[in-house]
Amino acid sequence: MIDTRPPLADLLSSFDALVAAGWRSRVIASQPAPDPGAPRLEIRAYFNADEVDAVLVAGIHGREPAGPIALARSVARLVEHGRGRGLLVLPLLNPWGYLQRERYGPSGQSVSDSDHLLGRAPAPACPEAGDITAFVLSGIRIGPGAAVLDLHEDPVYEAPDYRYDGFGSYVYFIGEGAAGRPASRRVLDCLRASPLPLVRDGVTRFGEAVAGGAIVDSEDGSIDELFARRLDCTPVVTVENLLHGPEDPPLSLRVEVYRAVLDAFLGVRS
């Protein structure tokens, strides 16, 4: 299989343009490099204000590259969007997984699991989860009511006992009144008209019921739930598109869909 993803170094260097535009960059966590003796892999946050009112997240799962690549190819747009609002960008939270094509980090756990801060676990699931969630809670000011967009993908090919015949996308909404917020409606409208259209009804491979293209107020221990439950962010919108293989549908198509979703989400203040 031909790997159409950009090399990790090229992907990460795309965000240098944010710093050149006056944004700040901070290393919030790190992971061991796959090659012994190589420098640790830095996990960076980029932000343009002391208090932000929108958060963009991608790259939590290593086998879901469309989100990080869409953000990397939208840096100029982010600079423009950031001229009138405070933005926090967490573009690749699992670089080790990106390199290894693995869903989780080197510990085998989700790098942004938040159960330890949601009263469901005594300690972070892995070092990255501890560091990333600590930054979100105390390393930056995220205003109440801030909107959050998390770009995921759903590689259903990883679950041989699950079958979905079509292609498309679905969303999660978390937060007070999240499903009815303007940003949420814009994302839904964008997906309805996209080449990976909204899957209106069904059941995910995790047993969650999709109604009208969305799953509302899930409790999955994710960083998205943390944003909503602990920081009062709304809407927290997580977008998923169904993957039947690493290039099925093609990565280039998924990236363009997510660039459109990003623009829809940031269209106006929520």
What is the DSSP pairing of strand 51-58 with strand 141-151? parallel
DSSP class of residue 152 equals -
**Residue 39 CB partners (closer than 8 Å, separation 6+):** 33
In order of 23, 74, 110, the CA distances from 107 in angstroms are: 31, 31, 8
DSSP-based three-state secondary structure for 166: coil
Residue 189 backbone phi and psi in degrees, to 5: -60, -40
For the chain, 270 residues long, give each residue's pLDDT as a single digit of tens. 688 999 999 999 999 999 999 999 999 999 999 888 899 999 999 999 999 999 999 999 999 999 999 999 999 999 999 998 999 999 999 999 999 999 999 999 999 999 999 999 999 999 999 999 999 999 999 999 999 999 999 999 998 888 877 789 999 999 999 999 999 999 999 999 999 999 989 899 888 999 999 999 999 999 999 999 999 999 999 999 999 999 999 999 999 999 999 999 998 544
DSSP class of residue 157 equals G
